[in-house]
Amino acid sequence: MTVSGKTLTLRVPLDPLFLPAFTSMVEHASRAFGMGNGETLKLVLAAEELFTYLIPLADPGQALDAECSDGVYCVRLSVLLPVQPLRMRAFNLTARWSPDSEPDLEDLGLLLAARSVDHLQISERPPRGMHLLLTKEKAYPEEPVPGSGPDPIPLKSFEVISPDPEEVKVLASHVCRFFPASEVPGIFRFPGKLVDMAACGEYGILAARDKGSGIGGGMAWRSQGSGLVEIFGPYVFHAAERSSVARALLDACVGKHGRTEALGVICRYGTSGVPAEYMESLGSLIRRKTSGTPLPQPVLYRQLKEDPGRWVWSHPRLRGFLEAQYDRLYLGRSIQVVEPAGEQRSPFSVFSTEFDRSHGRVTLRPLWEGADAAENLSRHMDLLQGEDVSQVLFELDTGRARQAELAPVLMDGGFEPRLVIPHGGEGDLVVFQYRKDGAGQ
């Protein structure tokens, strides 16, 4: 398979007459990129709602720039919006609408758009407006649980390789078979998707292979923003060779990233395969076994560059936690305290919500800071009570001063800071966990 760079672009006037042209471009591009009917229709629905929402906000003759691209495992619709500010509130998972309320009714379109896609990223593009990236993933068959196939044979000697697609599928199947679900990211249960995501560079994969014995272990990684790489594994199938194979895989992975823009690697899955001393402990999150018993979930980290030290923003209530973490991790940080001084705030906040249904985890992140953050958080938690979620996390970026003000909102809303991920965002990321998941127990 070759990685495609197929992209369709369209500049279309924000006029109801051109709605069919816009949705038709999205539909035909999606089908041409190999997306199934159901997923295509959902992306078309998102495109239609978005366009319709924008029409009354546009000046006469104003156009929208759209780009539909083939992401191999997904289709991405990138839209540059010539209006500002958007009614951002509609992008919250919990946004409600009422047929009696005209403004809320207008927001319904955006809400439908947000919920029809798998990922939604919003960013400012001053001075023209906002950039929205809507991603709809294709459907893939799931690996049966437990995985199938012959047992792996112990390695006699091995080399670390970039596996071909068939080897990736074997690796994924063995990992699902021999490691508990809590140690394995959900993507391994969809080997075809993993192959496609590796082909388009979203995942990197290494395997330890003996020409006689086949695949004896492997690991994967994925970029989390520009500064951080999340690694999964190493997973080694025979205990006797665990240490040497894991070390070789990790060295190869770290070597691959040593001269990239990544500043660090983080490991939350497959931590038991990481040799002692290879990575640092950032702390742990709490996950619940099916019996309800809380278990610590270690989070490991290895920095790839010499830490240059930095300023970070913090609310006074978070300062003690940050000082303790920075001291423990030997990180040079100058903490700048942020407190509101009565300045104007946007009335609405927006949180992005990332579901990891295979692990019952939800991660919230602030997209937009606003005066209603406490109410918004409370609405999110109410909604999540009804979902099958056992771990709710909230990430704050210490590189963004405005996010610091959310710390007391989170702490009063039942969250507690668990750990710091150096350079995980623009600055360091503070990961909060909702206490009712068992954090703090």
Partner 1 sequence: MTGLDLDRLVPDHVKAFEAYVPSKPDDELMKLYGCSRILRLNNNENPLGPPSKARKVLERFPPPRAAVYPSGDSFHLRSRLAGIHGLHPDQVLVGNGANEVIAFVIKAFCREGDNIVTADKTFAVYEWVAEFSGFRAELVPLKEYGFDDEGMLARIDDRTKILFVCNPNNPTGTYWSKARLRGFLDRVAGSRIVVVDEAYFEFVEREDYPNGIELIREYPNMVVFRTFSKMFALAGLRIGYLAGSLDVVNVIRRTCVVYSVNTVAQEAALAALDDPAHIRRTRDMVRAGKEYLAGELDRLGLFSVCGEGNYVMIRLPMSDTLAYRKLMKHGVMIRSMTGFRFPDFIRVTVAEKPALEAFVGALEQILGGGAAN
The binding site for partner 1 (CB under 8 A) comprises 125-128, 250-251, 254-255, 258-261, 277-280, 302-310, 329-334
* Closest approach of partner 1 to the CB of residue 343, in Å: 25
Nearer to partner 1, 105 or 324 (CB): 324
* Closest approach of partner 1 to the CB of residue 282, in Å: 12
Nearer to partner 1, 238 or 305 (CB): 305
* Closest approach of partner 1 to the CB of residue 355, in Å: 29
Nearer to partner 1, 366 or 422 (CB): 422
Buried b (16+ CB within 10 A) or exposed e, 260-281: eebbbbbbbbbbebbeeebbee
Nearer to partner 1, 128 or 357 (CB): 128
* Closest approach of partner 1 to the CB of residue 80, in Å: 9
Nearer to partner 1, 21 or 324 (CB): 324
Q: Is 392 helix (H, G, I), strand (E, B) or coil?
A: strand
Identify each DSSP E strand in 71-113 by its residue range. 74-81
* Closest approach of partner 1 to the CB of residue 330, in Å: 4
Q: Is 146 helix (H, G, I), strand (E, B) or coil?
A: coil
**CA proximity to 163, closest of 204, 214, 221, 206:** 206
* Closest approach of partner 1 to the CB of residue 246, in Å: 13
Type of residue found at 402: R
Alpha helices in 360-405 (DSSP H): 373-385, 401-404
* Closest approach of partner 1 to the CB of residue 274, in Å: 11
Nearer to partner 1, 20 or 201 (CB): 201
* Closest approach of partner 1 to the CB of residue 107, in Å: 26
Buried b (16+ CB within 10 A) or exposed e, 106-115: bbbbbbbbbe
Nearer to partner 1, 307 or 356 (CB): 307
Tell me how far apart the alpha carbons of residues 206 and 175 are, in angstroms, rounded to a whole number. 13
Tell me how far apart the alpha carbons of residues 348 and 333 are, in angstroms, rounded to a whole number. 31
User: Is the dihedral angle over the CA atoms 97, 347, 392, 400 positive or is it negative?
Assistant: positive
* Closest approach of partner 1 to the CB of residue 399, in Å: 14
Tell me how far apart the alpha carbons of residues 267 and 303 are, in angstroms, rounded to a whole number. 12
Alpha-carbon Rg of the chain, whole angstroms? 23
Q: What is the DSSP letter of 169?
A: H
Pairing of strands 361-368, 391-397: parallel
Nearer to partner 1, 149 or 255 (CB): 255
Tell me how far apart the alpha carbons of residues 366 and 403 are, in angstroms, rounded to a whole number. 7
The answer to whether residues 415 and 434 touch, using CB atoms and an 8 Å cutoff, is: yes
Report residue 377 CA to chain centroid gap. 19
Q: What is the DSSP letter of 58?
A: S
Nearer to partner 1, 163 or 227 (CB): 227
